[in-house]
């Protein structure tokens, strides 16, 4: 299915489930237990394949006396990964990542565009990590990705903006954080409602039972960590991170979807949709700004497959 058509179909399905909900009921209690069991069962997987597809849009304007600034950013990320986590500390990981970002900032009448296109392959195996790929960026980066398999350069992965944006350490299981799944127990506890199940085509050949939970952004602050560093971090920060989240929570919503196998109740896919806006006044902003408007939306799809099947390594990897 075309990516845009799939996203549209998913958005319609999420909306129908939420609008058609019947409120708290025994069915929600059953859904709670079934979803939690599905997420807990993931811990028993020894290997799996994952496809992550995420798009996001961000726009901000801020004004004050004789000062104005605006920012916009669009991001499109596709990640295909294979994981063998039989030995978590020495996991075998194969990643193919494609990231496209375009944006611009205007301050003091000067507009600065930012854009990049990253094609990257990464393999972690036997206490070694290799990468190869291509990076095109505006403005040009002094760094170039290797065209053939080479040891991963951790400093560049953390410092080059186009690569730091990928958060490779997370997907390589180096920072101890779960790279894909939310904390189901916490999110279920915070859910304002849980609707479903409804039959949903996860892929062309796979149908799942889709549940959708509605949450207040303030109850899932981890979802917004690192989303707005230009606004909330450093000496040039315009607003505190907690203050911004509080404003977003007043008008925004988070939808979380989980698709389960109709027969085994195994987790097939996870969906997260964010739609938030905020109007921030002078009392929360750094001088000289008096008003700030922010709008952010994001749609993320994560599909799991090939559970407990062997990971396939690229044939051209360097021989140890």
- The pLDDT tens digits of the residues spanning 143-196 come to 899 999 999 988 888 889 899 999 999 999 998 889 999 999 999 999 999 999
Q: How far apart are CA 196 and CA 22, in angstroms?
A: 10
pLDDT for 193: 92
Strands (E), the chain: 47-64, 67-84, 92-107, 110-125, 128-138, 150-151, 193-201, 207-215, 253-260, 267-281, 289-305
Does residue 302 register a pLDDT over 80? yes
Q: How confident is the model at residue 25 (pLDDT cuts 50, 70, 90)?
A: low
Q: How far apart are CA 161 and CA 151, in angstroms?
A: 19
Task: Compute CA 238 distance to the chain's CA centroid, rounded to the nearest angstrom.
Answer: 24
The arithmetic mean of pLDDT across residues 79-105, rounded, is 96
| Contact in structure between 232 and 225 (CB atoms under 8 Å) | no
The arithmetic mean of pLDDT across residues 129-151, rounded, is 92
Q: How far apart are CA 252 and CA 48, in angstroms?
A: 33
Q: What's the token pair of residue 52?
A: 């992550």
The arithmetic mean of pLDDT across residues 295-315, rounded, is 96
Does residue 249 register a pLDDT over 90? no
Q: In what order do the strands lie in the sheet with 207-215?
A: 150-151, 128-138, 110-125, 92-107, 67-84, 47-64, 289-305, 267-281, 253-260, 207-215, 193-201
Does residue 8 register a pLDDT over 80? no
pTM of the predicted model as reported, rounded to 2 decimal places: 0.88
Q: How confident is the model at residue 22 (pLDDT cuts 50, 70, 90)?
A: very low
Q: How confident is the model at residue 92 (pLDDT cuts 50, 70, 90)?
A: very high
**Torsion, Cα of 150, 152, 156, 158 (10° steps):** 160
User: Radius of gyration (Cα) for the chain, nearest Å?
Assistant: 21
The arithmetic mean of pLDDT across residues 264-280, rounded, is 95
Least confident range of 13-17, 180-184, 219-223, 258-262: 13-17
Q: Cβ–Cβ contacts within 10 Å for residue 131, how many?
A: 22
Least confident range of 16-25, 71-80, 166-175: 16-25
pLDDT for 24: 47
Does residue 9 register a pLDDT over 60? no
Q: How confident is the model at residue 27 (pLDDT cuts 50, 70, 90)?
A: low
pLDDT for 23: 46
Q: How confident is the model at residue 7 (pLDDT cuts 50, 70, 90)?
A: low
Does residue 304 register a pLDDT over 70? yes
pLDDT for 46: 97
Q: DSSP alpha helices (H): ranges in the chain?
A: 3-19, 26-41, 154-159, 161-164, 168-171, 184-190, 229-232, 241-251
The arithmetic mean of pLDDT across residues 59-71, rounded, is 91
Q: How confident is the model at residue 6 (pLDDT cuts 50, 70, 90)?
A: low
Query: Highest-confidence range of 19-23, 147-151, 218-222, 224-228, by mean pLDDT?
Result: 147-151
Per-residue buried b or exposed e for 22-50, using 16+ beta carbons within 10 Å of the residue's own CB: eeeeeebeebbebbbebbeebeebebbbb
Query: Which has the higher per-residue pLDDT, 233 or 168?
Result: 168
| Contact in structure between 20 and 14 (CB atoms under 8 Å) | no
Query: Which has the higher per-residue pLDDT, 150 or 230?
Result: 150
């Amino acid at each position: 299915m075309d990516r845009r058509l799939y996203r549209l179909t998913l958005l319609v399905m999420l909306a129908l489930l939420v609008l058609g909900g019947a409120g708290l009921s025994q069915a929600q209690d059953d859904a709670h237990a079934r979803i939690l069991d599905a997420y807990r069962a993931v811990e028993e997987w020894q290997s799996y394949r994952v496809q992550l597809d995420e798009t996001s849009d961000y726009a901000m304007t801020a004004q004050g006396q004789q000062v104005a600034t605006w920012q916009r950013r669009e991001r499109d990320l596709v990640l295909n990964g294979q994981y063998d986590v039989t030995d978590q500390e020495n996991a075998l990981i194969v990643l193919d990542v494609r990231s496209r970002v375009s944006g611009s900032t205007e301050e003091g009448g000067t507009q600065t565009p930012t854009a990049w296109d990253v094609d990257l392959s990464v393999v972690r195996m036997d206490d070694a990590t290799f990468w190869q790929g291509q990076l095109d960026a505006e403005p040009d980066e002094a760094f170039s990705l290797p065209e053939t398999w080479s040891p991963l350069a951790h400093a560049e992965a953390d410092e080059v903006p186009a690569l730091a944006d990928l958060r490779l350490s997370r997907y390589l299981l180096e920072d101890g954080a779960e790279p894909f799944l939310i904390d189901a127990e916490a999110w279920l506890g915070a859910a304002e409602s849980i609707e479903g199940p409804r039959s949903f085509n996860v892929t062309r050949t796979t149908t799942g039972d889709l549940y959708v939970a509605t949450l207040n952004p303030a109850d899932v602050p981890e979802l917004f960590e690192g989303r707005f560093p230009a606004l909330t971090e450093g000496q040039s920060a315009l607003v505190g991170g907690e203050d911004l989240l509080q404003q977003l929570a007043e008008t925004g919503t988070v939808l979380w979807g989980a698709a389960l196998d109709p027969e085994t109740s195994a987790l097939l896919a996870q969906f997260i949709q964010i739609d938030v806006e905020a109007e921030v006044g002078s009392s929360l902003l750094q001088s000289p700004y008096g008003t700030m408007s922010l709008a952010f939306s994001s749609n993320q799809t994560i599909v799991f497959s090939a559970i407990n099947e062997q990971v396939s390594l690229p044939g051209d990897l360097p021989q140890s």
